[in-house]
Amino acid sequence: MLFPSSVARPETVEKLNNKTFRAAAEAGPNDILKLYNSRGNMVNISPRLPENTQDTRYKLEVVAAHCNGTPIADLLGFDSCSIDHRLHNLERRVYSDSELPSIVGELKYKVEGFRQKLEGVEHLSWLGLFKDMSCGTSLQPFWDKTRSLRRTEEQNRRVLEKFMKMCQVQVTDEVRMYLRKPTFDNWQWDESEMLILLRQMYIDLGFISKYNIEIPVLNQWLYEVFKNYNQVPFHNFKHCFMVAQMMYGLVWLIGLANYLDDLDVFTLITSAICHDLDHPGYNNAYQINARTELAIRYNDISPLENHHCAVAFEILERRHCNFMRNMSKENYKKVREGIIRCILATDMAKHNEIVNSFKTATPIYDFTNKDHKSMLMMILMKVSDISNEARPMDVAEPWLDCLLQEFFNQSDMEKLEGLPVAPFMDREKVSKSSSQIGFIKFVLLPLFEALGQLFPIIEDDIIGPVRKALDYYTDMQKALEEEKKRKNSAELAKQNGILNTNQCKV
């Protein structure tokens, strides 16, 4: 339809609406019209309608028709009474028969269960934090850092104020000695106190004087690190502290200063503090399967670990946070290389490769060999990262609860998005005991025993508690299986009783 601008005057619009457009569309006076431009966009019929040409024709459509009292079904050629009768019969069968068809009942049960899960699991309010679900899974923002994963400014301010006040107080010798033990209980310390204890590690290891570290800058760096850990169930700032504390404990237990130089120990402590920066609570498998921004950025190669490294050095790029700014360029370069190597080693996809390489080198281990020393640092990092089961059970078990909650959050999300779900993360398939037995047997003990071959001194404090944890969860699993058998037997006896009663009646 061509529309010359000469007729687009206000005094002609009413006539144009009633005659020209309706005539062109062969529409009646009560029909509804819509006008589209050449790009398919709907436009208003108004005096300001721009002039068009042969190449930019308008398209006019009748989108609703007045049928003058004639049923629309008759005009379209089908029997509405017959359809209504069929629907009535179907409704009567579903709602009036003595029982629902089994397949309908099963579907209703599943829908109701899923509805309750959606309403009852708080973390699913995070759906909008990871990507726009309506747009699929590709190239969407990884997560919204301004939403609930982050603490509020008020929460951060309170932690900073308490941290700064405590900086004026001397840490007691009793606390300093306790901080060196693998039995350290994190649950009795808040986040401000943990910042003080992390600072104390650098002080007690002599790093302040060795590397000319300015205390105010160290304080600011620690606070920025704290701010960049998210409020997720497991991979949060408290986990960061526990990994650093175990590393610190190993430094004293093994006497690492006798085997590694000061810069290596500095690198290990700093790597432990930074190793999970900005972790969103969803692992690499999720990133890769969901094709998140991080997975695409890092080509599916350790996306989270690469991100943790990047965030660590982004913080250090800020001069007021760069507590290593007085180091020589050579030392800074060595520390940077070591931190990247240690953090990337925490990707569990590389676990077997790293452990097997270390086992091969152990019989001929040479502390002056650069490659051997790098392997040792990676092993120490890995041991510290997954060391919770080496702690007393009342410290370790709450951490397992946190980890399983994070796993369940991820598997719920994966089910909603139609992504693969790992069995050890599925809340419907895993228990505390079943999750730990295999992990301790095939991951923890081989790793810890490999380190124990080089440093037998860790046997009592590190390896022994892990073996006790395996016994604890094995007993728990046996108890669960026996309880399940008892319930199954009771249910079977009940069913047999009902069956016998019915047979007697017959």
List the catalytic residues. Answer: 235
Helix-helix angle 329-344:262-274, to 10 degrees:
50
CA distances from 144 to 86, 130, 276, 296, 306 (A): 50, 7, 18, 17, 19
Output phi, psi for 59, to 5 deg: -120, 125
Contact (CB, 8 A) for 385 and 409? no
Contact (CB, 8 A) for 447 and 383? yes
In sign, the C-alpha dihedral spanning 4, 9, 15, 21 is positive
Query: 32: helix, coil or strand?
Result: strand
Nearest to 339 by CA among 278, 264, 281, 257: 264
CB atoms within 10 A of CB 375: 22
Q: Give residues with Cβ within 8 angstroms of 131, minimum separation 6.
A: 137, 140, 141, 142, 290, 292
- Beta strands across the sheet bearing 59-64: 42-43, 32-36, 59-64
Contact (CB, 8 A) for 124 and 118? yes
The whole-angstrom separation of Cα 352 and Cα 318 is: 36
Per DSSP, helices labelled H in 345-369 are: 351-361
The whole-angstrom separation of Cα 244 and Cα 246 is: 5
Q: Which two tokens stand for residue 360?
A: 């091969």
The whole-angstrom separation of Cα 2 and Cα 347 is: 65
Q: Give residues with Cβ within 8 angstroms of 232, minimum separation 6.
A: 149, 279, 280, 281, 406
Residues listed for the chain = 506
- What pairing do the DSSP bridges indicate for beta strands 42-43 and 59-64? unpaired
The whole-angstrom separation of Cα 214 and Cα 123 is: 40
Contact (CB, 8 A) for 281 and 130? no
